[in-house]
C-alpha cells in the first residue's frame, strides 16, 4: 500500500525553492580580479646633458624708423608697398598740397608788398637826406624817415621768412626716405586724413641686425651685456655667433619677461623676421651628468610630479614623487626622487593604481621571431 503524501508538502517545497532562488539572486557576486597590465619600463641611469636653456628669437633691424609727414593733410598717393626696398631720397607718399600752395602764394604776395614799401622808404630817405644836407629840413624829420626805412626793411625780412616757412610746409607734403632699408610696415592708406607726426611707413635700416628674445625674470640676472650666445637658424639649422648688446631694464607688463638683444653681423645675411634659436653660453650644461626621463613617464600628483616605480619582487608598482629641474629636448631633467638602477614605468602611467600587478611589455616582433627561427633550424 502506497503512502499518502501530505497535501501541504508540495507547497512547502515550492516556497522553499523560491526563497532559495531569491537568496542566490540577492547575494553579491564575487569581485572580478584586477587584470595584470603590461607596461614599458626604463632602468634609471645618469646621462649627459645635450644642451642648456634655449630661447626663441626673431631677427630684427638694429634701427627701425617710423616715417611720418611733418604737416597735416589728406594722403593722396603712396609710392611703395610692404617689403619693398627703398633708397635715400626716394619718394614714399604724397599729401594734398593745395592749401599749402595757396598759403605760399599769399606769403609771396606779402613779400612783394613789403618789398615795395621798403623801396618807397629807401627813396623817401634819400630825398629827405638831400634836403637835410641843404638845411631845408630838420634833423628830427630825417630821423623819422630813417626809422620808417628800418621798419620797412624789418617787414620785408619778416615777409621773406614767412615765405620760406610756407615753402617748407609745402615741401613737407612729400614724404621721402632719409635712410636706405626695407619697408616693414604700412600704417596709413591713400585717402586717410593724417595729423602731423602720424606714422605712415616703418623702415628697417640696412646694416647690422639684432636677434631679439625674451628671458624669464628668474634667469635674467645671469645674462649681462657682452656675454656670448650661439644662434641657430630654424629653417636651415645654420649656426652663427653673437653677443648680448642690450638687456631691458624692466619686464614686459604682460609676459613678465625681459627683452634681450643679441648683435648679429650684417654679413650673416639672415632675413628680417626669421626665427632663430638662441643658446646663451651661461646656460650651457653640455656634459653634466643628470637623471633624465621621457615626458611620458611623468604623472601629475596634486601640485607635484611623480612616477611609477616597479617592484621586481612582487611585480607591482608604487608612486614615487620626483622634482623636475628643467628640460633637455624631449626629456625632463630630475633633481631628486630617483636613483640609478630603479625601474620606472614610461608608458601607460595614467591607468595604473598603487599596488597594481603588472607585467613587462614585450614587443610582438620578438615573440614572432622565435617560431621563425625554430622553423629555420628544423629545416636544416
Question: 120 lies in a domain?
Answer: yes
Q: Which of 213-217, 320-324, 349-353 is modeled with the greatest confidence?
A: 213-217
Mean pLDDT for the chain overall: 83
Are 225 and 256 found together in one domain? Answer: yes
Per-residue pLDDT averaged across 230-256, rounded? 90
Q: Which domain holds residue 341?
A: 38-48+287-360
173 pLDDT band, cuts 50/70/90, is very high
Residue 133 has pLDDT above 90, yes or no: no
Are 291 and 254 found together in one domain? Answer: no
Q: In the numeric block, which cell numbers belong to residue 356?
A: 597594481
Domain boundary among 283, 314, 335: 283
Each residue of 194-228: pLDDT tens digit?
999 999 999 998 888 899 999 999 889 989 998 99
pLDDT score at 358: 87
Q: Are 262 and 243 in contact (CB under 8 A)?
A: yes
Q: Where are the alpha helices (DSSP H) in 226-284?
A: none
The CATH number for 315's domain is 2.40.420.20
pTM of the shown model: 0.56
Each residue of 263-275: pLDDT tens digit?
987 656 788 888 9
Each residue of 45-61: pLDDT tens digit?
887 666 667 899 999 98
Per-residue pLDDT averaged across 305-325, rounded? 87
The CATH number for 124's domain is 1.10.287
Per-residue pLDDT averaged across 15-37, rounded? 60
Distance CA 309, CA 6 (A): 70
The phi, psi pair for 230, rounded to 5°, reads -100, 140
**Eight-class DSSP state of 329:** T
Domain boundary among 283, 299, 322: 283
pLDDT score at 104: 92
Residue 280 has pLDDT above 80, yes or no: yes
pLDDT score at 73: 94
pLDDT score at 2: 46
pLDDT score at 18: 56
Q: Are 51 and 285 in contact (CB under 8 A)?
A: yes
Question: 223 lies in a domain?
Answer: yes
Q: Which of 172-186, 232-246, 299-313, 327-341 is modeled with the greatest confidence?
A: 172-186
More confident residue, 24 or 90: 90
Residue 366 has pLDDT above 50, yes or no: no
Per-residue pLDDT averaged across 5-14, rounded? 54
> At 204, is the secondary structure helix, strand, or coil?
strand
The secondary structure element, H or E, covering residue 17 is: helix 9-26
pLDDT score at 300: 81
139 pLDDT band, cuts 50/70/90, is confident
The secondary structure element, H or E, covering residue 151 is: helix 139-171
Q: Are 92 and 179 in contact (CB under 8 A)?
A: no
Q: What is the domain count for the chain?
A: 3
Q: In the numeric block, which cell numbers belong to residue 222?
A: 645671469
156 pLDDT band, cuts 50/70/90, is very high
Question: 350 lies in a domain?
Answer: yes
Q: Write the CB contacts of 187 (distance below 8 Å, at least 6 apart in sequence).
A: 66, 198, 199, 200, 201, 202
pLDDT score at 377: 45
Question: 229 lies in a domain?
Answer: yes
Residue 6 has pLDDT above 70, yes or no: no
pLDDT score at 138: 87
Q: Write the CB contacts of 235 (distance below 8 Å, at least 6 apart in sequence).
A: 274, 275
Share of the chain above pLDDT 70, in %: 83
Are 278 and 291 found together in one domain? Answer: no
Question: 68 lies in a domain?
Answer: no
The CATH number for 248's domain is 2.40.30.170
Question: 32 lies in a domain?
Answer: no
Residue 28 has pLDDT above 70, yes or no: no
Specify the range with the lowest mean pLDDT, choosing from 84-98, 109-123, 142-156, 319-333: 319-333
The phi, psi pair for 207, rounded to 5°, reads 135, -155
Share of the chain above pLDDT 90, in %: 38
Residue 84 has pLDDT above 90, yes or no: yes
Are 166 and 219 found together in one domain? Answer: no
Question: 185 lies in a domain?
Answer: no
pLDDT score at 378: 45
Residue 7 has pLDDT above 60, yes or no: no
Question: 75 lies in a domain?
Answer: no
The secondary structure element, H or E, covering residue 375 is: helix 364-379
Amino acid at each position: 500500500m502506497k503512502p499518502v503524501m501530505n497535501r501541504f508538502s508540495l507547497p512547502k517545497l515550492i516556497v522553499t525553492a523560491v526563497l532559495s532562488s531569491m537568496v542566490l539572486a540577492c547575494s553579491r557576486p564575487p569581485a572580478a580580479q584586477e587584470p595584470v597590465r603590461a607596461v614599458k619600463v626604463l632602468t634609471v641611469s645618469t646621462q649627459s646633458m645635450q644642451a642648456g636653456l634655449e630661447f626663441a628669437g626673431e631677427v630684427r633691424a638694429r634701427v627701425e624708423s617710423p616715417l611720418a609727414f611733418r604737416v597735416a593733410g589728406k594722403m593722396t598717393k603712396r609710392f611703395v608697398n610692404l617689403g619693398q626696398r627703398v633708397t635715400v631720397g626716394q619718394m614714399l607718399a604724397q599729401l594734398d598740397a593745395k592749401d599749402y600752395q595757396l598759403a605760399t602764394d599769399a606769403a609771396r604776395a606779402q613779400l612783394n608788398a613789403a618789398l615795395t614799401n621798403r623801396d618807397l622808404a629807401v627813396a623817401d630817405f634819400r630825398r629827405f637826406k638831400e634836403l637835410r644836407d641843404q638845411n631845408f629840413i630838420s634833423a628830427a624829420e630825417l630821423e623819422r624817415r630813417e626809422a620808417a626805412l628800418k621798419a620797412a626793411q624789418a617787414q620785408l625780412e619778416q615777409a621773406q621768412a614767412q615765405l620760406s616757412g610756407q615753402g617748407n610746409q609745402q615741401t613737407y607734403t612729400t614724404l621721402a626716405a632719409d635712410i636706405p632699408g626695407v619697408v616693414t610696415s604700412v600704417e596709413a592708406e591713400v585717402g586717410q586724413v593724417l595729423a602731423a607726426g602720424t606714422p605712415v611707413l616703418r623702415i628697417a635700416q640696412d646694416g647690422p641686425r639684432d636677434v631679439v628674445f625674451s628671458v624669464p625674470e628668474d634667469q635674467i640676472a645671469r645674462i649681462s651685456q657682452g656675454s656670448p650666445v650661439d644662434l641657430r637658424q630654424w629653417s636651415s639649422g645654420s649656426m652663427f655667433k653673437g653677443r648680448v648688446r642690450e638687456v631691458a631694464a624692466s619686464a614686459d607688463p604682460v609676459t613678465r619677461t625681459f627683452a634681450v638683444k643679441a648683435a648679429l653681423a650684417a654679413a650673416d645675411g639672415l632675413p628680417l623676421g626669421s626665427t632663430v634659436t638662441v643658446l646663451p653660453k651661461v646656460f650651457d650644461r653640455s656634459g653634466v651628468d643628470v637623471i633624465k626621463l621621457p615626458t611620458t613617464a611623468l604623472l601629475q600628483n596634486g601640485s607635484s610630479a611623480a612616477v611609477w616605480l616597479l617592484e621586481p619582487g612582487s611585480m607591482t608598482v608604487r608612486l614615487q614623487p620626483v622634482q623636475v629641474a628643467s628640460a633637455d629636448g624631449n626629456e625632463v631633467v630630475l633633481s631628486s626622487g630617483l636613483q640609478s638602477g630603479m625601474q620606472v614605468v614610461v608608458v601607460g602611467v595614467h591607468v595604473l593604481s598603487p599596488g597594481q600587478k603588472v607585467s613587462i611589455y614585450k614587443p610582438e616582433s620578438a615573440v614572432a621571431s622565435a617560431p621563425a627561427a625554430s622553423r629555420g633550424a628544423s629545416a636544416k
